[in-house]
Amino acid sequence: GTQVTPKVLEKPGKLKGIARAGVGVDNINVPEATKKGIIVMNKPGGNTLSAAEHTFALMIALSRGIVPACTSLKNGAWDRKKYMGNQLNHKVLGIIGLGRIGRAVAKMASGFDMKVLGYDPISVPKDAEALGIEVTDDLEKIYREADYITLHVPKNEQTLNMISAKQLKMMKKGARIVNCARGGIINEDDLYNALEAGIIAGAALDVFPKEPPENTRFKNIDNCIVTPHLGASTEEAQIEVAVEAAQILTDAIKGGPIKNAVNAP
């Protein structure tokens, strides 16, 4: 939520460094900081497990209709037929982005005996096979074959709207998709249209192009569950990332090694 805009950086005074307690630096105007000679550092890692667990929580919630079933019972219904679910066991999970969180999700998926297909055009993890990931360089194979698709990529020019109407149409009718990465990687309007038209079975969004979201069409769609950017919101992760961010700042201030600078060049 904290935005380090060009205005904030206009008169930086003695400011030498900005540390982001997490991975995404999209709330910091990095080019402006770079112009002013300010180091921008991130500290990924501390919230990896929290984000992976949230992804899994959303996947399970989708597979069992937990959210609409809960709302329905609280509203006085007892509708067991409507909320017939699906098992995760032996389903195909497509993971797009095999970095820290993508790999942690793969590890959890092995406990559910899911078949994991992974795609990452930049860095394929050395331990992919040990994690049970079948790596593919054909992204469309994931769209065509996966029962569950989860995104763990950064938001950039290549990934913005990477899942739009065309990709959604390639998916199985029963496919369910989770975005715990960044808003805008899935085109929201195309997603809602696909959910309404039954092109895919469900979606869970933790992130939105604008937060809080302006587009609230999901209110009308039972098979879309939403959470307010809670991926890293656990007590454990918040302490870990705060300590790690403080550490990289103090290291840099004391003239020690500058770690995780995203604008070092």
Active-site residue numbers? 182, 211, 229
When asked if residue 41 is in the footprint of ligand NAD (CB under 6 A), the reply is: no
Q: Which single residue brings its beta carbon nearest to ligand NAD?
A: 99
Interface with ligand NAD (CB under 6 A), residue total: 33
Phi/psi of residue 33, nearest 5 degrees:
-60, -45
Phi and psi angles of residue 236, each rounded to the nearest 5 degrees, phi first: -65, -50
Q: Of 80, 73, 66, 111, give the one whose Cα is nearest residue 93.
A: 111
User: Of the candidates 119, 143, 148, 218, which one interacts with ligand NAD according to CB under 6 A?
Assistant: 119
Residues 146-185: x where in contact with ligand NAD by CB under 6 A, - otherwise, as a string: ------xxxx--xx--------------------xxx---
Report if residue 47 touches ligand NAD, rule: CB under 6 A: yes
* Contact status: 65 vs ligand NAD (CB under 6 A): no
Among 46, 68, 94, 102, binds ligand NAD (CB under 6 A): 102
Nearer to ligand NAD, 44 or 202 (CB): 44
Token pair, residue 160, equals 């913005």
52 binds ligand NAD (CB under 6 A): no
Structure tokens that stand for 172 in this block = 């199985």
Q: Which long-range contacts (CB under 8 A, 24 or more apart) does 1-8 make?
A: 1/27, 1/211, 2/27, 3/27, 4/28, 4/29, 4/33, 5/29, 5/32, 6/32
> Half-sphere exposure (CA, 13 Å, Cβ side) for 235?
0
How far apart are CB 57 and ligand NAD at their closest, in Å? 12
| Cα gap 153→126, rounded to integer Å | 18
Is residue 20 a contact residue for ligand NAD (CB under 6 A)?
Answer: no
Verify binding: residue 132, ligand NAD, rule CB under 6 A.
no
CA distance 97 to 204: 17
Binding residues (CB under 6 A) for ligand NAD: these are: 22-24, 44, 47-48, 51, 96-102, 119-123, 152-155, 158-159, 180-182, 206-207, 229, 231-232
